[in-house]
Each structure stands twice: as structure tokens, then as C-alpha cells.
Chains A and B, each alone.
Chain A
Amino acid sequence: MHGPRFIGVFGVEGWATRSGTKLLAFGESVKIERQRMQLSISAKGKGKSKSGATIASRRKTLDIVVRFTNSRGDEVGRLAQDKAAFISTLLDQKVCAFEGTCFYAPEHIRTNDTIHLQLRCFILSSAFDGRKLRLANDNRITDLFSAAETEDEKALRLRQIALVKIFEEVNLQPNRTNEITEKHKRTGLPQVAEMAEALDNVKEGSRVPGKDATTSNTEDAEDNEGKELEQDQLDALYRKAQAFDWYSPEAEPADTFTLKLRRYQKQALYWLMNKEKDIHSRENESMHPLWEEFMWPTKDENGIDLPSNGHQEKFYVNPYSGDLSLTFPRQEQHCLGGILADEMGLGKTIEMLSLIHSNKSPLAPKNSSTVSGLPKLQRQSNGVEFAPCTTLVVAPMSLLAQWQSESEKASAPGTMKTLVYYGTDKNVNLQMLCSGSNAGSAPNLVITSYGTILSEFNSITSRGGNRGESGGLYSVKFFRIILDEAHHIKNRVSKTAKACYELSSEHRWALTGTPIVNRLEDLFSLVRFLQVEPWSNFSFWRTFITVPFESKDFIRALDVVQTVLEPLVLRRTKDMKQPDGTLLVPLPAKNIIIEEIELSKQEREVYDHILLRAKRTFAANVEAGTIMKSYTTIFAQILRLRQSCCHPTLVRRKEVVADEIEEVAALDASTGFSDDMDLQDLINRFMETEEAEGSGKSANAYGAHVLKQIREEAEQECPICAEERMMDMVVTGCFHATCKKCLLDHIEKNLNKIPKCVTCREPIKERDIFEVIKEELPSNLLPPPPTQSPFSQPTSYSLLPTSTQKDLTSSPSPGPASETQFTLRRLSSRSSAKIETLLSHLRSLRLSYPHTKATIFSQFTSFLDLLSPALTRAKIPHLRFDGAMSQAQRASVLHQFANNKGFMVILISLRAGGVGLNLTQARWVFMMDPWWSFAVEAQAIDRVHRMGQDEEVTVWRFVVKDSVEERMVGKIQARKRFIAGSLGMVSQTEEERREQKIEDIRDLLS
């Protein structure tokens, strides 16, 4: 294009900036030019030719002044603000030029008089270049809200708004637009753009004070980052998105798929296969949905033909990015995939595997003889090879092994070649392995982790973006990519998300039970990955979803989201009923028992001590009005309280000691130190008794004759409660047995006196009470194999602290069926109330159900560290699964757990194992400590209580009586459920949320 081209005229008001006579006459031509206020008069007239970019970059806030001069070059006035705002941008960025004509001006002009002008607008040829470096499809990834906008980004945004406005002013209508785009545009793009600006200003103002809060490192820090969806808004979205028809068609999987699909899974397969079909014909070029096509006007405002300019009749505008183009913007990609959002446990993995079997690339050769006939692929030139047989699965590390084993289980032998592409197993050249020419031996499934993707992405970007040479994930265009637990990429600015966007494939799928975790932007990231135009353009998304939502126009925003979701998402929930009224997936019952734990005296002392201090901190801060500032500190103390509910020594673990000291010093410099000593002392006392056990001497000294007595006692009923089978039998120093609780009650009753043995009146020393640990192992299980995790230090039984164990081990009992072993352990050394209760449960479970398995969840890995030796001591075989383990270790642990035939326990950190894992081999669940929201616990429980579980599941939730835990479960979890289950579209204000937090703390410490 040569020279400016006319696009239309519009009227504008101006104000005179000087007085005079005959400054401007009707019909006189007027020059419109930009001038920075700082510039001296000498620069006048050069404004237009000056580099727009430098002016733009230098302009600070509101310099939008546009002046006009008469034909003699004298300045007459400036344009009115409203129009000047966008005209200045268009001039600065060399998008348009304007020719003015005076329409009306008083003969005697005085400063501030109104002058009417008519402007003819021309698009400059420079508008079409200079932006070529940016891909048409590129997103403005930076969140305009969360990060300070750079000058460049601001310039872009101004240009976009200005372009939209000028087209509106000159009333130039596109003659071709995308249907979806058009529909949303009718809601008023310019207004939305203004809304965005207003919002920006508000945000900018509030950003600085908000900073303190966001830097805090508590669990709630996330709250401050953006607008969250209320649960009911989410529910409404999902409800609409899952309008699932029971009578929708089903598809039969290919016969290489060996599992039996349920009806709803066959329906999923039909849907999946349909989504992968390319319904858009590739022949018929379609316009990129973000672009609009315009015809150049052929006549000017007076109906006079304009000089034709070359052969170009059309030009194209992208009102969402502010891009202009003379060439046809082709839509290059269609989304041939979607989001499979079936609720956890419905078998998303199985459904995808059936798809892998049933829909293969037409390019995938049946045998190697057709290889030579493969068509050349477009992208080969930049070093990316098409892999027609290969599906890439990206999953969290903990699920890699599960994908592999499930895919093999689901496939006829030899029909599914899998490759776990991870860690040291990465020494393969995927490009060579998967390319079409190698189709015979190419893996059907490559399984990798988000971490692997990220590291390859990083190394490629650091090497300048050459995809091909590495032979890694980016050198291949896969047939299909599946992101498992796709909410991993919910943050679109995260590197992992970007790395996933860059993967190349024909079909893209995102699997997640929660496509929206708590923000609408979560969904954007998935849409971006799936390349769903126009929504994958953030500017577009922001304009029609984020901005209305944040401006409280919820209905509109959610409506739009729904139109995005509807064609993309398949979602069924577990509680959906089939037409005959039965559940989609009948699951066995699940019993949740809240186990009230009573702390021991020593534990209670530690707890009370910490509680007292937390209360003091809280009260002091309430008084000083600094409660929000010290929120983190108080939160840390509450964390400590919760830890002390699990085990008093947890609060003394290295990782928390440092900040505790700091905190004490800061909070209570005068008394802090002595406080600390108290606590140390209390813990020392606890440790002392525990270590005393290590010597084992005293217990040993009683000699073997005692065994006989204990054995006899064990046969009898408890002398106090008359129970035949004593509950947690204990013996006194004089070796008379009772139930533990009975004896402790008895001692409690005689608090002021020396307690005496109920049987022989011998005074009882509390230190000399022993627990009798009775192991009745079915003889076929003896001797118990040392089945601890191979990754934990193997502990030989001879190292057991109770060396009495050997001496006291009974001779084999007469019955061949079972053998009973006794071990004595000092009661005062009891690890912690929770551990004891757990052990007691596990012992009785093992006795009644010797071939079952149990999962134990705790959010504190340090607590798992303490549980492990306790289980070892109790000779309960156990494994451990936590975030610090390598992929190989995790796989091995899960494998052992699944395949062990006897009683088995797995210790899992809530964080590492709360999602994704399949632990249906277990039927007992112990939740050692409550989480703020029950939903998180429920998710962990669902590891066991999910599809594939065919036994009743029992869950024990350990809650310490009269403690912060009790209040967490009672009040806070209940409140969260209440919020989730009620209320309209009201969102809490910042103020309300803050008050709620303080209220929560008050509750917790009450």
C-alpha cells in the first residue's frame, strides 16, 4: 500500500486556545497535529513527523493534547478531550492521519470558544507494518492486573482502544466477521474497553496497600491475587456445562481395547471421537475469528470517487489486539480436542485409553510398507517431525506409573507400546523413535511429567528455540496430547503452562475434575492450551469475560463462559443418576468416624503452653490494632498448635525452630525467652521418658518369670471393668494387669495420694506402668517379614528399644493356628495420643482382617517421620509416599502396596498423595489431622473410595478433643461448606473477608 488511504469522516469539537479575528474561516482546511506540552514552539509543525513511538514512550499520564492550526500554520486551538484521547494515540503510533476542515468558527474568536471541525481520517501505510514480528496469534500474556504494565503494553492497549473508537466514529462496518466474535461484539466492545480502563485505575490505586498481604506466606495468601469464584457460581457453571443427555449415542471401542466400558463411558468415547473429527473443511479457508474484514471506501464523504490504490479492496482489523493487516488472516488451527472433566473416579483415564485405541491417525500406517507413501508435512522444515502413532500423556509425576500400568491393562497384548519419558529414561530420540518412518516400532503412548516438559522447554528457549535438534518432546508433532490433571496449568503466566502451550500436536485434550479451580482464568489457560479460537486470545477473553466479571457483571461473564464451555467440555458427576435411578458408578458405602483423641497429661501441658502464648499474641495484637499485620505470626502459632495435637515434639522440629525463635523475640522480648525455656522443659520431660525406654534396662530387670504371670493375667478379665479381653492391657510394676483406661482412671481418682495397685495395694509408680503389646499373628504370617519401604532405613527387630521383647517372648502357644507374642513398653513413653490410638486401631484391624490395607494421611511429613518408627515397633508393615520421593521410588512404593498380600499400611503426605492416586486396594483410611476445608480431606479419602473399590470403606478422622482441631472441624469446615452451599451471587468484600479471618482466629483460640 502506498500512502494513506481514506476511511471516513467524522465531526469533532475544538476549543480555541487564543483570541483573534479571522483566525479560521468556514471551509478552511485545518492541520491536526500532536504536540507534547513540554515542547517549545519551535517544534511546532514537526509533531506529526516525529517518531510516534518515542513520543508514546515518553508520555507519562494524560498528555493527549491534539492541536490544530489554520492554513497559515498558526495554532488555533485544541481538540476536545473525548476525541483527542484516541486521536492522539492514532497520531502517536502512526496509525492514522487526519485532515481537518473548519465547519464552524466565530469570526471573532476568543479563548475557549467552541470550533466545529470535520476530520477526514486516513490509515497510514505504516499502520500495517512494524508489527510483523508479532505473530497474529500471539497472546498478550501479561496480566494487565497482576503485573505492572510496561510502556509497550500500554501502547498496545491504547492502540487497540483507539482503533475500535475510530471505526465507530467513521462508522465503518466490517463486511465479514466471525460469528462468535460478532455475537459478543454486539455487547459493546468499546464500552468494555473503557470499563477495563476504569478498573485498571482502581486496581492501580489499591495495589500498593495490598502488597503487604500478598507477601505473607500463609495458605490464604492466594486469596489476595484475584477474583475468586464463589462455589455456587462454579456449581451453576458446571450444571450448565454438564447438560448431558442419557440417550446420546455410544461408540464401541476398537477390539484392541480389552476393558469393558460402562454405558456412560461409551458415550464419552463417542463424544471424544467426534471432537477429534475435523468438521471444518480444510479446503474452505476460514478467516481467523478475531479478525474483521473491511472494504476500503471507494467514495469520499461527498460521494466523489477516490483514487483507486492498487488492487486492494479489503483490509483486516483485529479489534482485540489492535492489529491491522492487508492480507487475509487465515485461521490456522481448529481445536480438535476438548476438556474431559468427568468427576474423579468415573474413569477419565479409561475413557482416554479407549479413544487412543479407537481413533488412530489416518496417517498411521497399518504396516511399514506404506511408509514411503507418507505425505510430506508442512512443519518438517523447522525440524518438527510428525508422529502419527503417538499420543503424549503429560501427568503429575506421581501418576506416571499408574498411566503406564493402566494403559497396559486396558490393551490387548502387543497393541500398546508405552514409553515413560522421564528422568534418566529420557535418553531416547523421540523424533527418530516416533516419526512416521519408524511407525512399526514407534511407541503408542509416551508418558511424561509436567516437570520434564518444563525443563525441556527451558533448555530449548535458552538455546534459541530450535525445536528440532534436541530430539525431545518439542521436536515431535504428536498425534494427540493429553494433559492429565490439567489444572496444573491453570496459571497462564506460569512457565509450565507456557511450556504446555508450545507442545505440538493434532489433537489436544485436557483431563481434569476441576476445569475451574477458583478463577475464571483457570479455564482460560486450558482453552489456550486447546487453541480454541477466539477464546485462546487473552485480550478477547479478558474483554468479554474477565472485565465483566470483575465489574460485577456476573451474569454476562458466566453466560459467556458457558458458551465457551458447552462445546468443549464433557462432564459427568458421580452423583448423577442413570435414567433408572441408580448411580452412575455404584460405590460401596463409606463410613466416616470422627475419632476423638484425648491428649495425655504431658501432651496437654505442651499444648496449653502454646495455646496460652498464641492467645497472648492475639490479644496483644487486637489491642494494638495490628492484627492483620501479624496475621502470619498468629497463623504460625496456630500451625504449631495443630502440630502439637499430633505429637509434642513436632513443634520442636528444626524447620520451625528458627522462625519460632525469631517470632518470640519479636513478639515478647521480655518474657519470650523464659517462655521458650518452659516449653523446652516440657518437651524435655516428654523426651526423657521416651529415651528412658531406649535403655530398656529397667523393664528387662524384671526377668522372665514375669512372663508367666502376664500370660495368666491376660487370660483374665480386667479387675476393674470386668472386660474379658482387656482393652490395651497394661501391667503395673507388680505385674498386675488392667485395661489401660481403667488404670489411668484409677490413678486419676487418687490424684492426691500415691496410687496403689488395685490387686495387691503395692504403690504404683507412674513410670513403671507398661503396656502389654500382644501380637496374635496367624502362624502362617510368622515370622513377620521385614516389609518396610526399601527406601527407609531398614530397622532390624533386634534393635527395638524394648530389648525386653526377647526375654518376654512367650514360648509357642499350644494352638497351631496362632502364636501370641508379648512386648512390654513403658506407658509413660507413649509416643502421642494420636499414635497410640492409631496403633490400637491397626492392631485390632490386623487381627480381624489380616489381608486388608490401610492408608494414613497427614499434612505434616514430619509427623509421618514419627509414625514410621512407631509402626515398625508395632511390627506393622508399612510404606511411605511423599513429595520428596523420586518417580521411581513412588512407582515402586505404589507397586508394593498394590501387590502385597498381607496387612499393609501406607503413610501418605496429604499434599503429595491427596490427588490423582488410586489406592482402592485399601479399605481403611486414617486422617491424622484435619485440614481447613473438608473438601481437601474428602479428596484424599476418594483415593480409596473411588471406582474400583468394592468393599465398604471406613474412615477415621482423628480430632483432638477440646483443641484447635475440634474447632477447625466443628466451625471452620462447617462454615466453608455453608459458603459453598448457599448464598447468591454475592462475593465477600475485602473487609468482610478480613473480619472473617479474625473471627476465625478468635474461634480457634477460644
Chain B
Amino acid sequence: MAALPKRIIKETERLVADPVPGINATPHEDNLRYFDVTIHGPASSPYEEGIFRLELFLPEDYPMSPPKIRFLTKIYHPNIDKLGRICLDVLKTNWSPALQIRTILLSIQALLGAPNPEDPLANDVAQRWKEDEKAAIETAREWTRTHATV
């Protein structure tokens, strides 16, 4: 594997030295482009109290290409599908090389606080969210309790 670019080294150092509250990202020792991530569900959201595990991988041409991120913990969210894939513009078309792991994870945390059923990834969840938001939020809480609490 090619030497790790300065950019990744710096980001990793800063994630350790100056962590974001509620977010933790740790690279694998054998693959420094591969991170174990946990995100705390934002307060006053159905995901409050939940700790979600994600995996994050920095592709070869990062930061020219966005990182690849996936939820490992099951989550009930209109923009996150069964496989944990996330629908978020900055991870796709709106990626900018100036964005970082930190900012991307903050965006994901924000997404948990503000689900957007108009731009769904998990269609069934989005449908439910629109028809019966209360019930949907309850299910999300339920899932958080079952899957995202230790």
C-alpha cells in the first residue's frame, strides 16, 4: 500500500487530539484508511441515547473522492437503508475535497436529527414517516433501544 498521504495522517491525528463530542473515529491498525466510527444519536431525536457504529473507508484518491461510509448498527431512518447505506448529498454529488472525516461525520449526526423523507433511500421507512410520523418515530426509538444501546 502506498504511503499514507499527509492529509489523512493529519486528519487522524486531529480526530484523536481534538475529538468531536459524540463522535469517535479510530483507524484500524492494519489499515489506516479504514475507521471504526461511533456516533451518539443527537439529543431530542428518536436516536437519543443510542450509540451507532459505522465503518468508514478512505478510497485511494481521497480527498478527491468522498469517503465511503456505512452504518453497521441497524437504524430506522428514511435516508439510511437496510444495509446501512446513507443518502447524503455531501457524500455524493456535493462532495468537496475540502470536507473532512470530521465534517462528514457531523453531517451524518445532523442527518439523524433531521430525517428527510422527501429524499428517501429506504422507501418503506420514508413512506411510513410521511403517513404516520409519530409511529415512525416510535419505531425508530424502539430500534435504537434494541440495537443501539449497549
Question: Chain A interface (Cβ within 8 Å of chain B)?
Answer: 717, 719-723, 742, 745-746, 749, 756, 758-759, 761
CB atoms of B65 and A722 under 8 A apart: no
**A761 with B61, Cβ < 8 A, contacts A720-B7, A722-B6, A723-B6 known:** no
How many angstroms from the CA of A349 to the CA of B11 in the assembled complex? 61
CB atoms of A758 and B97 under 8 A apart: yes
CB atoms of B6 and A759 under 8 A apart: no
- Can you report 12 residue pairs joining A to B where beta carbons are below 8 Å apart? A719-B98, A720-B7, A720-B63, A720-B64, A720-B97, A720-B98, A721-B6, A746-B64, A749-B64, A758-B97, A758-B98, A759-B96
CB atoms of B96 and A722 under 8 A apart: no
Given A721-B7, A756-B96, 15 further pairs, Cβ under 8 A: A717-B10, A719-B97, A719-B98, A720-B64, A720-B98, A721-B5, A722-B6, A722-B7, A722-B10, A746-B97, A749-B64, A749-B65, A758-B98, A759-B96, A759-B98
Q: Which residues of A contact B61 (CB under 8 A)?
A: 749
How many angstroms from the CA of A719 to the CA of B6 in the assembled complex? 12
How many angstroms from the CA of A723 to the CA of B9 in the assembled complex? 11
From residue A722, how far is it (CB to closest CB) to chain B in Å?
A: 4
Q: Which residues of A contact B6 (CB under 8 A)?
A: 721-723
> Smallest CB-CB separation from B63: which chain A residue?
A720
CB atoms of B98 and A722 under 8 A apart: no
Which B62-99 residues have a C-beta within 8 angstroms of A? 63-65, 94, 96-98
> Smallest CB-CB separation from A742: which chain B residue?
B97
Q: Which residues of A contact B7 (CB under 8 A)?
A: 720-722
CB atoms of A758 and B96 under 8 A apart: yes
- One digit per residue, 1 when the CB lies within 8 angstroms of any chain A CB and 0 when it does not, for chain B 52-64 equals 0000000001011
From residue A40, how far is it (CB to closest CB) to chain B in Å?
A: 98
> Smallest CB-CB separation from A756: which chain B residue?
B96
How many angstroms from the CA of A20 to the CA of B126 in the assembled complex? 136
Question: Chain B interface (Cβ within 8 Å of chain A)?
Answer: 5-7, 10-11, 61, 63-65, 94, 96-98
How many angstroms from the CA of A761 to the CA of B97 in the assembled complex? 11
From residue B13, how far is it (CB to closest CB) to chain A in Å?
A: 10
How many angstroms from the CA of A742 to the CA of B94 in the assembled complex? 18
From residue B88, how far is it (CB to closest CB) to chain A in Å?
A: 15
Task: With a 10 A CB-CB cut-off, give which of A721, A722, A758 has the most chain B CB atoms.
Answer: A722
Q: Which residues of B contact A721 (CB under 8 A)?
A: 5-7
From residue B1, how far is it (CB to closest CB) to chain A in Å?
A: 18
> Smallest CB-CB separation from A723: which chain B residue?
B6
From residue B117, how far is it (CB to closest CB) to chain A in Å?
A: 25
> Smallest CB-CB separation from B96: which chain A residue?
A758
**A722 with B11, Cβ < 8 A, contacts A758-B96, A758-B97 known:** yes
Task: In the A-B complex, list the 5 residue pairs whose CB atoms are closest, starting with the nearest.
Answer: A758-B98, A719-B98, A722-B7, A722-B10, A720-B97
Q: Which residues of B contact A742 (CB under 8 A)?
A: 97
From residue A734, how far is it (CB to closest CB) to chain B in Å?
A: 12
Q: Which residues of B contact A720 (CB under 8 A)?
A: 7, 63-64, 97-98
> Smallest CB-CB separation from B93: which chain A residue?
A753
How many angstroms from the CA of A716 to the CA of B84 in the assembled complex? 36
How many angstroms from the CA of A720 to the CA of B10 in the assembled complex? 11
How many angstroms from the CA of A765 to the CA of B84 in the assembled complex? 37
From residue A514, how far is it (CB to closest CB) to chain B in Å?
A: 47
Q: Which residues of B contact A745 (CB under 8 A)?
A: 64
From residue A744, how far is it (CB to closest CB) to chain B in Å?
A: 11
CB atoms of B11 and A761 under 8 A apart: no
Q: Which residues of B contact A758 (CB under 8 A)?
A: 96-98
> Smallest CB-CB separation from B94: which chain A residue?
A761
How many angstroms from the CA of A717 to the CA of B96 in the assembled complex? 16
How many angstroms from the CA of A656 to the CA of B115 in the assembled complex? 68
From residue A963, how far is it (CB to closest CB) to chain B in Å?
A: 25
How many angstroms from the CA of A721 to the CA of B62 in the assembled complex? 10
Task: With a 10 A CB-CB cut-off, give which of B5, B11, B96 has the most chain A CB atoms.
Answer: B96
How many angstroms from the CA of A409 to the CA of B51 in the assembled complex? 83
From residue A654, how far is it (CB to closest CB) to chain B in Å?
A: 43
How many angstroms from the CA of A722 to the CA of B97 in the assembled complex? 11
Q: Which residues of B contact A717 (CB under 8 A)?
A: 10
Task: With a 10 A CB-CB cut-off, give which of B10, B65, B94 has the most chain A CB atoms.
Answer: B10
How many angstroms from the CA of A90 to the CA of B26 in the assembled complex? 106
Task: With a 10 A CB-CB cut-off, give which of B11, B94, B98 has the most chain A CB atoms.
Answer: B98
Q: Which residues of A contact B94 (CB under 8 A)?
A: 761
Q: Which residues of B contact A746 (CB under 8 A)?
A: 64, 97
> Smallest CB-CB separation from A761: which chain B residue?
B96
How many angstroms from the CA of A759 to the CA of B103 in the assembled complex? 13
Q: Which residues of A contact B65 (CB under 8 A)?
A: 749
How many angstroms from the CA of A231 to the CA of B64 in the assembled complex? 52
From residue B60, how far is it (CB to closest CB) to chain A in Å?
A: 12
How many angstroms from the CA of A177 to the CA of B63 in the assembled complex? 89
How many angstroms from the CA of A746 to the CA of B7 in the assembled complex? 15
How many angstroms from the CA of A746 to the CA of B66 in the assembled complex? 12
Q: Which residues of B contact A723 (CB under 8 A)?
A: 6
From residue B70, how far is it (CB to closest CB) to chain A in Å?
A: 23
From residue B100, how far is it (CB to closest CB) to chain A in Å?
A: 9
How many angstroms from the CA of A756 to the CA of B6 in the assembled complex? 23
Q: Which residues of A contact B98 (CB under 8 A)?
A: 719-720, 758-759
From residue A719, how far is it (CB to closest CB) to chain B in Å?
A: 4
How many angstroms from the CA of A759 to the CA of B97 in the assembled complex? 8
How many angstroms from the CA of A717 to the CA of B94 in the assembled complex? 22
Q: Which residues of A contact B10 (CB under 8 A)?
A: 717, 722
Q: Which residues of B contact A759 (CB under 8 A)?
A: 96, 98
> Smallest CB-CB separation from A758: which chain B residue?
B98
From residue B32, how far is it (CB to closest CB) to chain A in Å?
A: 15
From residue B65, how far is it (CB to closest CB) to chain A in Å?
A: 7
How many angstroms from the CA of A719 to the CA of B100 in the assembled complex? 9
How many angstroms from the CA of A758 to the CA of B99 in the assembled complex? 8
Q: Which residues of A contact B11 (CB under 8 A)?
A: 722
From residue B4, how far is it (CB to closest CB) to chain A in Å?
A: 12
How many angstroms from the CA of A758 to the CA of B94 in the assembled complex? 10
How many angstroms from the CA of A722 to the CA of B5 in the assembled complex? 9
Q: Which residues of A contact B5 (CB under 8 A)?
A: 721
> Smallest CB-CB separation from A748: which chain B residue?
B64
From residue B141, how far is it (CB to closest CB) to chain A in Å?
A: 35
> Smallest CB-CB separation from B9: which chain A residue?
A722
From residue B22, how far is it (CB to closest CB) to chain A in Å?
A: 24
From residue B11, how far is it (CB to closest CB) to chain A in Å?
A: 7
> Smallest CB-CB separation from A749: which chain B residue?
B64
Q: Which residues of A contact B96 (CB under 8 A)?
A: 756, 758-759, 761
From residue A648, how far is it (CB to closest CB) to chain B in Å?
A: 28
